[in-house]
Chain A
Amino acid sequence: MFARILLLFLPIALLPSCSGQADDSDPPIRVVMPDGGAPLNQIFRFEIDPQGYELTGVDADMPAHGHGINTTPEFELLENGRYRIDGMKLHMPGAWEIYFDLKAEDGSFFRMTYPLEIGFE
């Protein structure tokens, strides 16, 4: 349960990782964006360190606009235990949320929200 509470605050703790400066001390998963952060309107690839959780889905939304992304990202578990996520495209500037669907060891599922701001270039 404590881990779940931490998860709720994780998005705020992870914000600096937009520029690739992820903090290793942030439990339970870590998002590693490309250098320079997530690009505007370009398909990009990034990684997460799931810290033992299983990644079961990735999606994103632009809540203020009432729409999501127009790609279906794919993900792959790497030998180093990270997941590589391909095919994400945040096609407008503004506030986005990336969603990670995760499965815990006890078999429970939950969704982590990762907010990020996409600028004009």
Chain B
Amino acid sequence: MNLLAPAPVFAAAIALVWALVPASPGLTESAKGISAKQDPVELSRREKNIAQTLSPLPALPVQPSNRFADDPAAARLGQRFFYDSRLSKDGDRSCASCHSPGLGWSDGLALSEGIAVLNRNSPSLLHAGYQRWMFWDGRADSLWSQARWPLEHPSEMGFARADLVRLIANDALLRSEYEAIFGKLPEGAHDVDRFRPGGRPPFPRPSDQFNPAPSLEELAKLDAGHAAWLAMQKADRDAATRVVANFGKAIEAFERKLVPGPSPFDTYVEGLREDDPSKLAALSTSAQRGLKAFVGKAQCVNCHFSPLLSGGEFHNLGLEVAEGEAFDQGRPTGIRTVKIDPLNGRGKFSDAQEWQSNAKLRYLSYDEHTYGAYKAPSLRNAARSAPYMHDGRFASLEEVVRFYSALPGRPPVGHREETLLPLDLTEQEVLDLVAFLESLEGPPVAEALRRPIPSESSED
């Protein structure tokens, strides 16, 4: 039996509780979830139990494939890289361009804009260190492996790992910090004849008998960066890839610090555990009703569970695509890509060799149910990272909730997950769920992380 299946008795109990809830200010109550009057909402034992599995946020998981993941010096270097617009083809873009601290570590756009407009919404970096898979299709299995995709993508930052080697070599501060952490840069790191301008390999691309991936030689005829890469010695190519992997490991160490403090919801759960009315009052009545719906009628918790408010896995929501508009397969492409990626957790640039740390790749597979599936994002601090969904189609959390209420349309590929049925929420229920989602926002991360490190600074 599905725990969340609305058995008649359970449904009747919810209805009764709902009916007995003291009259709320209704639609006049702020959807922000702040209400002067805090009327406690009664949760069933089961609802309380589930709510308590959603908080507090535990310590970051270990990251075996990056032995520098929690190294403060690596985090500091990663912060330098993160805000450095020299790491882009035209010198005008950095990681922070699409992951801006002032915009929820996203960019506020439906579709991100690098050198060109992309086909994905920029995900927030908050809590990124808790994620199992990166990108909406999960094509990277670590933050360090993820980082070189936007760096080298011609539509994003348009940079190249061979240029990265020379840039670090020619910047005394970056070079000293890099070498103190990762060891010496490769011999000839300054040399444009060895680390050729624009030199970068093609991204890993799944290949099969119907769509064979082109060879490097074929791609080199079409792309000057690949031609430069082809012209480099294999040892120098390996050395440049080691540098871009280390770049990613520094970025990961920085991104693991992007964890906001406890949210009002976390305080509320403390109140549940301690039976403390003052802590329970951290959530407005509307947000409490929203929580009740979140773990009950609306079944949001089926995919958005655990303290991250996400299982980190992939689901087909049945998002429709207009006729003639482009779409992609989502997760299957991600799975096929991450398994062949030379920078994945099982490759030679990974710091993990033991079985357990690579189990997620070793056993990873896909079937027809993963088509059209995208990652369930964390809902913590989601209120700051609008718009929503992999293509940014919804401008607000309210639009997202209304989508789940009506579930219009059909997906262009695969099938909508079968437990997703229209919720037929009332207007009040929509606002309550939004109020709950907004209660998941903790205070911003430390100010020192929200800006570049002054280049002359040597502070810790």
Contacts and interface: CB of A to CB of B under 8 A. Distances in A.
Interface of A: 40-41, 43, 64-68, 70-74, 86-87, 89, 91-95, 117, 119-121
Interface residues of B, number: 32
Interface in B404-458: 415, 417-419
Given A66-B417, A68-B369, A94-B302, A73 B3 contact: no
Contact of A70 (B2, B362, B364): B364
Contacts of A121: 53, 306
Given A65-B418, A66-B418, A87-B363, A92 B313 contact: yes
6 contacts: A41-B305, A41-B306, A43-B359, A93-B302, A117-B1, A120-B49
A41 B4 contact: no
B303 interface: yes
A83 B419 CA distance: 33
B313 A68 contact: no
A98 B406 CA distance: 33
Given A65-B418, A65-B419, A91 B362 contact: no
B417 A65 contact: yes
Nearest to B303: A92
B365 A71 contact: yes
Given A41-B305, A70-B314, A95-B3, 19 more contacts: A40-B305, A41-B313, A43-B359, A43-B363, A66-B369, A66-B415, A66-B419, A67-B369, A70-B364, A72-B365, A91-B313, A92-B303, A92-B311, A92-B313, A93-B3, A93-B305, A94-B2, A117-B1, A120-B3
A13 B53 CA distance: 29
A95 B1 contact: yes
Contacts of B50: 120
B3 A91 contact: no
Contacts of B363: 43, 71-74, 86-87, 89
Interface of B: 1-5, 49-50, 53, 301-303, 305-306, 311-314, 335, 359-360, 362-367, 369-370, 415, 417-419
Contacts of B3: 93-95, 117, 119-120
A39 B415 CA distance: 27
A-side binding surface: helix, strand, loop or mixed? loop
Contact of B362 (A64, A87, A119): A87
A41 B312 CA distance: 9
B53 A120 contact: yes
Interface centre among B362, B363, B364 (most CB of A within 10 A): B363
Contacts of A74: 363
Contacts of B360: 43
B55 to A, nearest CB: 12
A64 B313 contact: no
B281 to A, nearest CB: 25
A71 B312 CA distance: 14
Contacts of A41: 305-306, 311-313
B367 to A, nearest CB: 6
A70 B313 contact: yes
A22 to B, nearest CB: 22
B305 A120 contact: yes
B311 A91 contact: yes
Given A65-B417, A94-B2, A71 B306 contact: no
B359 A87 contact: yes
A64 B53 contact: no
A13 B302 CA distance: 27
Contacts of A86: 359, 363
A116 to B, nearest CB: 11
A16 B20 CA distance: 38
A67 B359 contact: no
A68 B367 contact: yes
B370 A70 contact: yes
A119 to B, nearest CB: 7
A117 B46 CA distance: 15
B53 A92 contact: no
Nearest to A41: B311
A71 B367 CA distance: 10
A42 to B, nearest CB: 9
Interface centre among B301, B366, B418 (most CB of A within 10 A): B418
Nearest to A121: B53
Contacts of B365: 70-72
B222 to A, nearest CB: 34
Contacts of B305: 40-41, 92-93, 120
| Top-7 shortest CB links A-B | A87-B363, A66-B418, A67-B369, A71-B363, A72-B365, A120-B53, A121-B53
Nearest to A115: B1
A93 B1 CA distance: 11
Contacts of A92: 302-303, 305, 311, 313
Nearest to B49: A120
A43 B364 CA distance: 10
B442 to A, nearest CB: 21
A71 B5 contact: no
Nearest to B366: A70
Contacts of B419: 64-66
A69 B251 CA distance: 32
Contact of A71 (B4, B311, B364): B364
Contact of A67 (B1, B53, B364, B417): B417
